[in-house]
Amino acid sequence: MSISPERETRELRLQQIRNEAQLRATSVSKLPPLTHVDAQPSNGHGALQDFHPAASASPQTGYYGMPLLKTPAWTWEVPIYFFVGGAAGASAMLASVGRLTGAERSMIRDARWLAAIGAAISPALLVSDLGVPTRFLNMLRVFKVQSAMSVGSWTLMSFSSAAAASAVLTELERRRVLPRIPVLTDVADIGAALTGLVLATYTGVLVGATAIPVWNAKVSLIPLHFATSGLSTAVSLLELRGHTSSALNKIGIGATVVETAIGASLEFGKEPATEPLHHGPTGWTMRVAGLLSGPVPLALRLLSLTSSSQSSRAVKLRRAAAISSIAGSLITRWAWVYAGRASSKDPKVPLQLPGPPRPDAKQIPQDK
Amino acid sequence: MSVTAFLTDSTLCIGCKACEVACKEWNQVPADGFDFRALSYDNTGSLGHSTWRHVKFVESGAIPGFGGNAPDVFSWGFSSDVCKHCANAGCLEACPTGAIVRTEFGGVYIQPDVCNGCGYCVVSCPFGVVERRPEDGRVFKCTFCYDRQKEGLKPACATACPTESIKFGEIEHLRETARKRVRDLEEKGFDDVNLYDPTDTSVGGIHALFIVRGDPKTYNLPPKPEVPTTYLKKGWMSAGIAAAAMVAGTILAFAGSSDR
């Protein structure tokens, strides 16, 4: 095989690096043995331990306690996308089920519009988070069931088309631009509802099926958590739009009961991988999110039942519950991403190191 | 084409970093900056978007013969880390664009002209290898010198290693070499030599094996790496239950209310 001269030069350069390394290694080994070093007694933790007690490479600390995993590269757009996508997906489902059960027309219309607006914002958020946004369409080169990101991209594209079609068709029919074409509306509506259900839940699978310990430890819970949170937001947004049907309050009560249960299970279920949910700023973010989306709106909604459903007191209480739920839902997504970032930096779980010590722990493990 | 692999024998490594230099030069990887960590002589820290070979410096108490130092001085263990090129690679499974592919040599290769920087591979690597380069937007990692392998050459790091600490070859052959080397070292009285080759986990084996003294955890090598696709079943189950519950609850609420 003939090798180009340029290739040969580069190949020679590798040889040169090798020779240089060899030469230096040889010259070091010819140095006289060190005699004036105050040897530290072997403690198995590394010589630097006396200066930096935590900074050692050992089976108890890993490699100087440095992170084993990489921190998620995702920026602020991603938790917002989880929030918007969840609310939009749940809205589409509400519109579709509302239509089948004969709910109020204006509520269905608003739910469709919420879905359509969310369907317009979501891709923008997702694209702007990419390292190379102009290559977004590469997401649609392939379809891979084993990649939640691939499934999600296709779901979002289908949802956006269906939700937009559903909202536009409703509007055209209402303004009598088009005659009613029930088949088209049905297809768009049901399509948006089905893809919306995937959109509201897949983001939980997306974070759960990763190497990040706090996420994969809770892979069975996060999709349910995100879905409930999305449904809560959708109902709350409709209530803030002025819809006061008791059906919405019932859905809200159901969702906040589930949120309360999820919050409690996160708070009281402790395992090494979920440490970020219990300690430090990540723990407090999750607690605040849990309170705002679970017990607080639940209490307000139950209180609203004590007055007649159209009374101004009941409406005010439900509005307060809605605002709390929306804030809680947004903070929930952020809290999960935040906890994942903290979790990625802690090598204890992937290395199966003994716990504690927590990052804030004062006690440093010492050899006997 | 046979499946190729690295065997990095840290008992032979002298910490010269020729592999890091050769890798950077051959693959034209940008500088990774200078970050004084004050933890050890290693100021690089870990593998990353601009560090595809990384020599770890493990400082230990005085262990005669370890690192070739005098018996009364603390000793060093060096190990040149690299992408593990997993048989079931988390990054490859996660990639939504198909940018990450399996080469004919069994390596895991990121096609830079396809990657759109979604970052999902970053959280899907159980070894913390893949990383997004902020100034570029795409992710980068060891290519297993795919270009060199195509021409029948050894990867740059293995070519430049002056002590043959980095060996390159057919994987089963290297496994045999590794077992023999561990046996030899044990016969010489080294009772703490380990071969890092996690075949009994969901990653299904790796294409970069390591011989280290002491516990591999010391070198941040995880005892039980899992490919994240193993969590998918539980995740989609939860998603399905959640979706069904949402629909059922909504139907009940609407159907059970006089004012809808």
For the residues of B226-254, what is the DSSP string, one character each?
Answer: --GGGGHHHHHHHHHHHHHHHHHHHHHHH
B97/B199 same-domain check? yes
Higher pLDDT, A270 or B83: B83
Query: Between chains, do B223 and A352 touch, taking CB under 8 Å as contact?
Result: yes
A226/A197 same-domain check? no
pLDDT of residue A167: 92
Is residue A330 within 8 A of residue A288, CB to CB? The reply is no
Angle between helices A77-100 and A222-240 (to 10 degrees): 70
Is residue A158 within 8 A of residue A152, CB to CB? The reply is no
d(CA B186, CA B134) in angstroms, rounded, equals: 45
pLDDT of residue A299: 97
pLDDT band at B55 (very low <50, low <70, confident <90, very high): very high
Chain A residue closest in CA terms to B155: A14
Q: Please name the residue ranges forming H helices in A175-273.
A: 182-208, 213-217, 222-240, 246-268
CA A19 → CA A11, A237, B18, B163, distances in Å? 13, 69, 9, 11
CB pairs under 8 A between A and B: 360
The CB-based long-range contact list for A307-314 (8 Å cut-off, 24+ gap) reads A309/A244, A309/A246, A309/A249, A309/B259, A310/A244, A314/A244
Q: Please name the residue ranges forming H helices in A311-350.
A: 312-344
Is residue A226 within 8 A of residue A197, CB to CB? The reply is no
- Residues 243-262 of chain A whose Cβ lies under 8 A from any Cβ of chain B: 245-248, 250-251, 254-255, 258
Chain B residue closest in CA terms to A140: B97
A331/A294 same-domain check? yes
Is residue B19 within 8 A of residue B53, CB to CB? The reply is yes
Q: What is the mean pLDDT of residues B175-192?
A: 92
B212/B233 same-domain check? no
Q: For residue B199, count other CB atoms closer than 10 A to its CB.
A: 11
**Containing structural domain, residue A284:** 214-347
Task: Report pLDDT digits (tens) over A230-263.
Answer: 999 999 999 999 998 999 999 999 999 999 999 9
Q: Which chain B residues contact residue A198 at CB under 8 A?
A: 239, 243
d(CA B86, CA B106) in angstroms, rounded, equals: 9
pLDDT at B75 over 50: yes
Q: What is the mean pLDDT of residues B56-70?
A: 66
Mean pLDDT (chain B, rounded): 91
Closest CA–CA distance from residue A211 to any residue of chain B (Å): 5
B41/B68 same-domain check? yes
CA B128 → CA B101, B219, B239, distances in Å? 18, 13, 27
Chain B residue closest in CA terms to A221: B238
Whether residue A32 lies within 8 A of chain B, CB to CB, comes out as no
**Exposure string for B208-243, b = 16+ CB within 10 A, e = fewer:** bbbbbbbbbbbbbbbeebbbbbbbbebbbebbeebb
pLDDT of residue A313: 92
Phi, psi of B4 (to 5 degrees): -100, 165
Here the ipTM equals 0.92
Sign of the alpha-carbon torsion through A307, A309, A312, A315: positive
Residue A112's CATH number:
1.20.1630.10
Query: Between chains, do B116 and A98 touch, taking CB under 8 Å as contact?
Result: no
Q: What is the mean pLDDT of residues B102-128?
A: 96
B99/B198 same-domain check? yes
Q: What is the mean pLDDT of residues B183-205?
A: 92
Query: Between chains, do B137 and A131 touch, taking CB under 8 Å as contact?
Result: yes
Q: Which chain A residues contact residue B222 at CB under 8 A?
A: 68, 350-352
Task: Report pLDDT digits (tens) over A40-59.
Answer: 443 444 333 344 444 688 88
Given a cut of 70, the residues of chain A with pLDDT beneath it are: 1-3, 26-55, 355-368
pLDDT of residue A176: 82
Q: For residue B173, count other CB atoms closer than 10 A to its CB.
A: 14
Q: Which chain B residues contact residue A352 at CB under 8 A?
A: 217, 222-224
Higher pLDDT, A129 or B37: A129
Residue B139, classed as helix, strand or coil, is: strand
Task: Report pLDDT digits (tens) over B213-224.
Answer: 889 999 999 999
A225 inside domain: yes
Q: Taking the CA of residue B246 as centre, how many other CA atoms within 13 Å lie in the half-sphere pointing to its CB?
A: 39
Q: Which chain B residues contact residue A216 at CB under 8 A?
A: 226, 228, 231
pLDDT of residue B59: 81
Query: Between chains, do B239 and A21 touch, taking CB under 8 Å as contact?
Result: no
pLDDT of residue A181: 80
d(CA A293, CA A328) in angstroms, rounded, equals: 5
B114/B213 same-domain check? yes
Task: Report pLDDT digits (tens) over B137-152.
Answer: 999 999 999 999 999 9
pLDDT band at B1 (very low <50, low <70, confident <90, very high): low
- CA-atom Rg of chain A in angstroms: 28
A262 inside domain: yes
**Containing structural domain, residue B236:** 227-260
pLDDT of residue A188: 93
d(CA A195, CA A158) in angstroms, rounded, equals: 7
pLDDT of residue A236: 97
B241/B160 same-domain check? no
A95/A129 same-domain check? yes
Q: For residue A355, count other CB atoms closer than 10 A to its CB.
A: 13
Q: Which chain B residues contact residue A157 at CB under 8 A?
A: none
Query: Between chains, do B223 and A351 touch, taking CB under 8 Å as contact?
Result: yes
Q: What is the mean pLDDT of residues B109-122?
A: 96
A121/A245 same-domain check? no
Query: Between chains, do B117 and A130 touch, taking CB under 8 Å as contact?
Result: yes
pLDDT of residue A28: 52
A193/A87 same-domain check? yes
d(CA A213, CA A71) in angstroms, rounded, equals: 12
A197/A309 same-domain check? no
**Token pair for A268:** 């009281």
Is residue A198 within 8 A of residue A155, CB to CB? The reply is yes
Q: Which chain B residues contact residue A97 at CB under 8 A?
A: 247, 250-251, 254
Q: How many domains does chain A have?
A: 2
Closest CA–CA distance from residue A149 to any residue of chain B (Å): 6
Sign of the alpha-carbon torsion through A66, B168, B26, B91: negative
Is residue A81 within 8 A of residue A126, CB to CB? The reply is yes
B73/B124 same-domain check? yes
